[in-house]
Amino acid sequence: MAKTRNNLLGVGGQRKKLSRADQQGAGAARTADRKVAEDKKQELVRKMRERAEAQAPATAEADGNATAAQS
């Protein structure tokens, strides 16, 4: 197949564009850092949900007592 500037169809596959860090071999470390950051985020979300669940029953109790006192 002729390789001309205007007709490159079928010449070769596309290559993934690499960042400078990936080209220099720091890609694996960056991937690990992203994983650690994602783990920290998940842990924070879990703690926030636990706190919200712990406060929800206490708030419901306080509202129930306040309603009973008004009657």
What per-residue string of b and e applies to 48-66 under the rule 16 or more CB within 10 Å gives b? eeeeeeeeeeeeeeeeeee
The Cα–Cα gap between 59 and 49 comes to: 15
Model confidence at 32: pLDDT above 60: yes
Per residue in 37-52, pLDDT tens? 999 999 999 999 999 9
Centre a 10 Å sphere on the Cβ of residue 26 and count the other Cβ atoms it contains: 13
Supply the pLDDT for residue 30.
76
Q: Are 11 and 3 in contact (CB under 8 A)?
A: yes
Model confidence at 3: pLDDT above 60: no
Q: pTM to 2 decimals?
A: 0.47
Stated as kind and residue range, the H or E segment containing 32 is helix 27-70
